[in-house]
Copies of this chain bind each other. A is one copy, B any other.
Amino acid sequence: MPDQCSDHYPVDATNKVKRRHDRGFYDNGTVHTLLDSAALAHVAYVIDERPFCTPTLFWREGTRLYWHGSSASRMLRNLSQGEPACLTVTHFDSIVLARSGFNHSADYRSVMAFGTALLVTDAMEKERALTMMVDRFFPDRTAVLRPRTGQETKATAVIVMEIEKASAKIRAKGVADDDEDYELPVYAERLPIRTMIGTPEPCPRIIPGVKRPTTLESYREGRLLAEALLEAHRLAYP
């Protein structure tokens, strides 16, 4: 695993943060933490020279990213031969109202990961990935579920992408006006954005006596989704 060889992703023209290079980070710790704090990614790929940007659930294992979809989906049909892809995760932390239009901004933490997306074809590797697709979010949950059928395995395509290059970009400074603008009689603020867990809604058809498992306790109302996801990832991949 590249994890054990290097603590940084290589930097070249593809992934170097050019605009505001002071906001760029390439170390595994920063990149991986931002990835593991998320469930939703956007994947860019190219079909017939045209770009597509598709939202998907994903997860990280070492220096690999996994995502899935129906075997029939457009993206996967095209990626099955191995296609370049860029998977991006963005944590949107605030909108910043400044004293000039130019200094209006946002706080955010994003990762762009580049590599070649491949269909997982090995049967054992696919079974393992289908288990982690659930257990990465809800550790050990697969063990208590109705077992997968062969038809379900067949109907689900799993994509894997070794991260060849990656960069994180972080802005976390709130209001940052030009020096002379602080004297202006203009209101300015940082407006925080928080992606939270709401009140869990148990399925109304749960059979009597079945309780919410204690393993789901980290997904509790009012918690930041990112915190619960990161905690689950650390339990799933100790």
* Alpha-carbon distance between A210 and B184 when the two chains are bound, in angstroms: 10
B191 and A203 contacting across the interface, CB-CB below 8 Å: no
Main secondary structure, interface of A, reads mixed
The answer to the question of A237 belonging to the interface, with a C-beta cut-off of 8 Å to chain B, is no
Residues of B within 8 A of A121 (CB): none
* Alpha-carbon distance between A47 and B207 when the two chains are bound, in angstroms: 54
Residues of B within 8 A of A181 (CB): 146
CB distance from A167 to the nearest CB of B (A): 11
Q: Which of B39, B99, B112, B192 contacts A198 (CB 8 A)?
A: B192
| 0/1 string, A117-161, CB within 8 A of B gives 1 | 000000000000011011001100110111011001001100000
CB distance from A226 to the nearest CB of B (A): 11
Residues of B within 8 A of A206 (CB): 187-188
Given A50-B84, A53-B87, A101-B142, A194-B198 contact (CB < 8 Å): yes
The bracket for how many chain A residues form the interface is 35 or more
Residues of B within 8 A of A92 (CB): 39-40, 55, 195
Q: Which of B72, B88, B133 contacts A55 (CB 8 A)?
A: B88
Closest residue of chain B to A14, judged by CB? B50
A192 and B185 contacting across the interface, CB-CB below 8 Å: no
Closest residue of chain B to A195, judged by CB? B195
Residues of B within 8 A of A108 (CB): 40, 55
Q: Which of B42, B142, B200, B219 contacts A90 (CB 8 A)?
A: B42
Residues of B within 8 A of A86 (CB): 44, 50-53
Residues of B within 8 A of A195 (CB): 92, 193-196
B197 and A191 contacting across the interface, CB-CB below 8 Å: yes
In the complex, 28 of the A-B residue pairs with CB atoms within 8 angstroms, ordered by the A residue number, are A18-B72, A40-B106, A42-B53, A42-B90, A45-B51, A49-B49, A50-B86, A50-B114, A51-B51, A52-B112, A53-B53, A54-B88, A55-B108, A95-B137, A101-B148, A102-B149, A102-B152, A144-B186, A174-B201, A185-B207, A187-B211, A188-B203, A190-B203, A191-B198, A192-B197, A194-B195, A194-B196, A194-B198
